[in-house]
Amino acid sequence: MHDLELSEEQRMIRDMARDFARSEIAPKTQAWEKAGWIDDALIAQMGDLGLLGMVVPEEWGGSYVDYVAYALAVEEISAADGAVGTLMSVHNSVGCGPVLRYGSQAQKQAWLPALAAGQAIGCFCLTEPHAGSEAHNLRTRAELRDGQWVLNGAKQFVTNGQRAKLAIVFAVTDPELGKKGLSAFLVPTDNPGFVVERREHKMGIKASDTCAVTLNDCTIPADNLLGERGKGLAIALSNLEGGRIGIAAQALGIARAAFEAALGYARERTQFGKPIIEHQSVSNLLADMHTSLNATRLLVLHAARLKSAGLPCLSEASQAKLFASEMAEKVCSKAIQIHGGYGYLEDYPVEKYYRDARITQIYEGSSEIQRLLIARELVNYSL
């Protein structure tokens, strides 16, 4: 994306995120990967820079400009570390987003300033051990007892699960109503009934705390219902556009980092008396990678512009997420190939990029779900 197509403010935010990512994140990513945890100090810095309130308006303490600036920032952070990109994207899109859109004035006042400042990180408790893409088929139950909601059930793959101070939990309130019987709740994670069972050991984005959570008679005030009773599925689905734009930008950032590593290596590594970039087999790989990155950025920013304008963009966001996530795996694989045997070693960053990229085809809606949504939109597509 040429700078001429960006506003001055968008460029400033992108450049700020890039400088921060290169100076404060990139040098520490290996240490965080081994520890399985991102330093709390970095989260505070991100909050100070406005990176954790990018979908929140200034009136609630946020730094919202538009979704183009947000996508650019997520790309830069993810290019330095996919795990930090995960934390940032999930917190902004499905942590802050539902509170902003569906919260009461009291709920917004209680949570949005802290979320936007990074003083409280959010998590999204929808997926269950038996229910992933089938979001309406949940077993977690919420019962109204003596003016309080009591939640019981189990959640799986909760990003930011151990770090979060606020959980947005989806539970069935009216089983007889089927899809219309699902509701959303704001649950402080220091509630004794909110139990983080374990941090999962993953293939990639290892510094991101992905957790299994159990709700054991988790009791919250009646006022902690988010939105209307029975509107949980609509709330869950309403944040998909922004969430998928964020993950598409994350995949783009990881893939770009892999490309830049491969390009640098190809310029330095010599074989048969010349740098390997001068061999057509390698230069062709790099040309394809560069083209794929630029095509992906166009899709991501197109969806972001539609979202910023308040226009429907479910299909465009799904297309961006689908294309970006599958592109990322291909680009990262080619980056390993260009490195040869060294690309398979932990001494070089491209093996981590490959591992980190793989999840982007699964979370925030798998590639199969994205294709399903895109195809549905084609039923009424104007020829």
Mean pLDDT for 370-375 is 95
238 or 221, which is more confident? 221
Mean pLDDT for 155-167 is 97
For residue 1, is pLDDT > 60? no
The reported pTM is: 0.96
Which pLDDT band, with edges at 50, 70 and 90, does 373 fall under?
A: very high
Which pLDDT band, with edges at 50, 70 and 90, does 239 fall under?
A: confident
Report pLDDT for 64.
96
Mean pLDDT for 186-195 is 98
Cα three-residue angle 298-303-309, rounded to 5 degrees: 125
Q: How many helices and strands (H and E) does the chain possess?
A: 13, 10
Cβ neighbours for 342, distance < 8 A, ≥ 6 positions apart: 265, 348
Q: Which of 46-60, 79-93, 235-249, 331-345 has the lowest mean pLDDT?
A: 235-249
Q: What is the pLDDT of residues 295-308, one digit of tens each?
A: 999 999 999 999 99
Task: Please state the separation of Cα 178 from the chain's center in Å.
Answer: 29
Mean pLDDT for 268-275 is 96
Percent of all residues in the chain with a pLDDT value above 70, rounded to a whole number: 98
For residue 41, is pLDDT > 60? yes
Which pLDDT band, with edges at 50, 70 and 90, does 317 fall under?
A: very high
For residue 98, is pLDDT > 90? yes
Residue 224 structure tokens: 């902690």
Task: Look at residues 33, 80, 73, 27 and name the one whose alpha carbon lies nearest to residue 257.
Answer: 80
Report pLDDT for 137.
81
For residue 132, is pLDDT > 70? no
| Residues taking part in catalysis | 364
Report pLDDT for 131.
75
For residue 54, is pLDDT > 90? yes
From CA 91, how far away is CA 108, in angstroms rounded? 15
The per-residue pLDDT of the chain, averaged, comes to: 96
Contact 188, 213 (CB under 8 A): no
From CA 121, how far away is CA 105, in angstroms rounded? 19
Mean pLDDT for 53-78 is 97
Beta strands in 126-251 (DSSP E): 141-145, 148-159, 166-172, 182-188, 194-199, 210-221, 225-226
Task: List, as one string, the DSSP characters of 254-318.
Answer: HHHHHHHHHHHHHHH-EETTEEGGGSHHHHHHHHHHHHHHHHHHHHHHHHHHHHHTT---HHHHH
